[in-house]
Chains A and B, each alone.
Chain A
Amino acid sequence: MEFLLVQTLNGISYGLLLFMLSSGLTLVFSLMGVLNFAHASFYMLGAYFAYQISTRIGFWPALVAAPLLVGAFGMLVERFGLRKVHPHGHVAELLFTFGLAYLIDEAVHLVWGRQAVPYRVPAELDGPLFQILGSQYPIYRGFMMLVSVAMLVSIWLALTRTRVGLVIQAALTHPQTVEALGHNVPRVFMLVFGGGAALAGLAGVIGGNAFVTDPGMAAAVGPIIFVIVVVGGMGSLAGAFVASLLIGCMQTFAVSLDWSLGGIGIAQAAPVLPYLLMVLLLIFRPKGLMGTREG
């Protein structure tokens, strides 16, 4: 019982982190049609920036500054890179972000080395939050959930209740009309791309010290968030949310269970599960969980 409870909480906190990543990816995809391959690299940059800032001035300034830095970098990428390849079509854009992911990963290797950096949970968040039936639940896990939920609620409010949010929503479906009404759609694109990057950066800031900050972290999480986008249905935020929680819980449970099937432990098979889910879903429901478009 306590195992179930703790693991569910862990699964949800991991799932929420995944959703912070996949939501940015989904927003950018549905707005610009660009699948940002470098999204996980932005996540990694967020963690490394936060580490660098937290060694100088502390964790709390890093929590604000690192996502902003990553967001600014994302805007530069959109303005001087993506916008240039846009006329060549979506494949060129995808390839550009793919190359960018290569560059960011290698730059991180060069600047911070190949080993993990000691990016740690700040002292005031280190310790047990509460006890459930004899086992302790760390404060930092709770903090992660708090940040993710706060982030998601504020994004939702910003998208549905503010003027900018309405323009973004309108530009999703009718970019020409929005442009005709006098809004600068390319600037909206830049803003959304930067926003998505900043979200990934924030996920990196809180995920980097909860897990591990090393040059492999982008490659570890990247394929998972792409799977989430496919499983949830391309371009569907609600689908991404469900898929994130599903895969988050699935991974957490699989790693901690010690059942075995035909000589292979569930824990060993954990890395394969999300991809297996994707393959099964594609055979039986090619649109994804909540997707609307085929193709």
Chain B
Amino acid sequence: MKRLLLWGGTALLFVAAPYLFPGGFALTMLTQMGTFIIFCLSYNMLLGQGGMLSFGHAVYSGLGAYIAVHALNLIGKGSLHLPVALLPLVGGLAGLAFGVLFGYVTTRRAGTTFALISLGIGEMVFACALMFPGFFGGEAGISTNRVVGSPFLGVSFGPPLQVYYLVAAWCILSMAAMFALTQTPLGRMANAVRDNPERAEFVGYNTQHVRFLQLALSAFFAGVSGGLSCINFEIVTAENVSAIRSGGVLLAAFIGGVSHFFGPILGGIVFIFFVVALSGYTKAWLLYLGLFFVLMVLYAPGGIASLVLMQLPVIRAGRWSELAVPFLVAALAAAVALAGLVGLVEMVYRLSEPGASTALQVLGVAFEARTAPPWFAFAAVLAVGLAALRAAARRAGARWDAIQLGLRSGQA
């Protein structure tokens, strides 16, 4: 019942999202989020559920997108009869085929070696993308037009809103399918192979075979997301199979939290927000994203999902109000430190980028990045913020420990 409510709520949120966040910009972002959520969840089938750290997952989504774009062009020419709404399925099947092909090699090994091989396969496919311009379109990529044939029941996929709803439908379907997969014997065995491959072998399972199946299925969903991105952007370039894309999905899934099913969904949302919204403001957005990721690895290896779930027992015990003030103070201190850091980073960028203006303005105060005082000012802000954050974090931590102790003794 609770699960039904959760899924129903999620579906409702997908339907209502364009009305909750109106405007073209929000719609672009929502569409990208839907596509990326599928990609992140498929990635988590490897990292979170199968314990396979992959550095080349974009291979499957990218190749899926390439096959889909060629299929769409064939539909446009009239030599292939397929509704555009089913194009992600083409991408998915292509992803599955490549997953079977490459998975045979990569899943022979686990652990760090698997990570390196997946990286090598990714680089190989990327190098091939520039070598065979006939299929991959070289530097320019392959472009297409998603509006083909006559509209069916008024749906032509011309307007972005229709594309969003297509993405939303596929996203919900894929989410449900991937969640169902975690409940199957294969999903459980993947967990066993992740946690203790030796024991899984003793029970009689071939770990290599389990990893292979898991990777092939994950490649299918990656291909679905590739097919959707092909419809959304109407272009597929070598960037779709690049290491940048593979790294991005790793960052997103980890930031969201790989140990919970819904973690990568949060991660996908946060990541697209970083990419689409922040990249409009600053050239240094990748630096901020990297910093965020490193801080998560250092201080919250469970990702956002774990951070949220950690609060639940405290909320249930009705003691979260005791934490609100220490958390707020820590957040304020972090904001101060962040302001100092952002100031320094932006000044560095203004100095190095040819043609960028070095005259800046913050809170109505104008200053010049070529002079020393603003550097000292921002460094001081950063130092004060960090010191305050340290103190605040220690107090919040002490509070947290005290509550945890109280909860535990309450149980006993």
Q: Which among B132, B297, B348 is the interface contact of A99 at CB below 8 angstroms?
A: B297
What class of interface size applies to chain A in its complex with B? Answer: 35 or more
In the complex, are the beta carbons of B297 and A92 less than 8 A apart? yes
Separation of A230 and B111 alpha carbons in the complex (Å): 13
| Shortest Cβ gap from A290 to chain B (Å) | 15
- One of B122-130, B165-173, B322-330, B394-402 contacting the partner: B122-130
Segment of B267-275, B282-290, B310-318, B374-382 in the binding face: B282-290
Given that A103-B294, A279-B121, A279-B124 are known contacts, is A110 also in contact with B110, CB under 8 Å in the complex?
no
Are B287 and A279 within 8 A (Cβ)? no
Asked whether A286 and B109 contact (CB < 8 A) given A98-B247, A226-B119, the answer is: yes
Q: Is A106 in contact with B116, judged by CB distance below 8 angstroms?
A: no
Cβ of A272 < 8 Å from any Cβ of B? yes
Q: Which one, A107, A111, A279, contacts B120 given CB within 8 A?
A: A279
User: CB-CB contacts of A258-295 with B at 8 A, as 1s and 0s?
Assistant: 00000010001101101110110011001000000011
Asked if A130 is at the interface (CB within 8 A of a chain B CB), the reply is no
Nearest chain A CB to B223 CB, angstrom units: 21
Q: Please state if A94 and B120 are interface contacts (CB–CB under 8 Å).
A: no
Q: How far is the CB of A33 from chain B (nearest CB, A)?
A: 8
**With A and B bound together, what is the CA distance between A279 and B287 in angstroms?**
33
Does B262 have its Cβ within 8 Å of any Cβ on chain A?
no
A8 to B284, CA, bound (A): 42
Partner of B119, one of A91, A110, A223, A295: A223
**Residue contact B116 to A110, C-beta cutoff 8 Å:** no
Chain A residues, CB < 8 A from B105 = 279, 282-283
- What is the size category of the interface that chain B forms with chain A? 35 or more
- Tell me the nearest residue of chain B to A275, going by C-beta: B124
Q: What's the Cα separation between A253 and B354 when bound, in Å?
A: 38
The one of B108, B111, B283, B301 that contacts A88, using a Cβ cutoff of 8 Å: B301
Nearest-CB residue, chain B, relative to A268: B131
| CB within 8 Å for A106 and B290 given contacts A113-B353, A269-B131, A272-B128 | yes
Nearest-CB residue, chain A, relative to B288? A106
Chain A contacts to B: CB under 8 angstroms: 29, 35, 81, 84-85, 88, 90-92, 94-96, 98-100, 102-103, 106-107, 109-113, 219, 223, 226-227, 229-230, 234, 264, 268-269, 271-272, 274-276, 278-279, 282-283, 286, 294-295
In the A-B complex, the 9 residue pairs with the closest CB atoms? A102-B290, A275-B124, A106-B287, A99-B294, A271-B127, A223-B123, A103-B290, A99-B293, A272-B127
Q: Would you mind naming 12 contact pairs between A and B with Cβ atoms under 8 Å apart? A: A35-B115, A95-B254, A95-B297, A99-B297, A113-B352, A223-B119, A229-B116, A230-B116, A230-B117, A264-B131, A272-B128, A295-B110
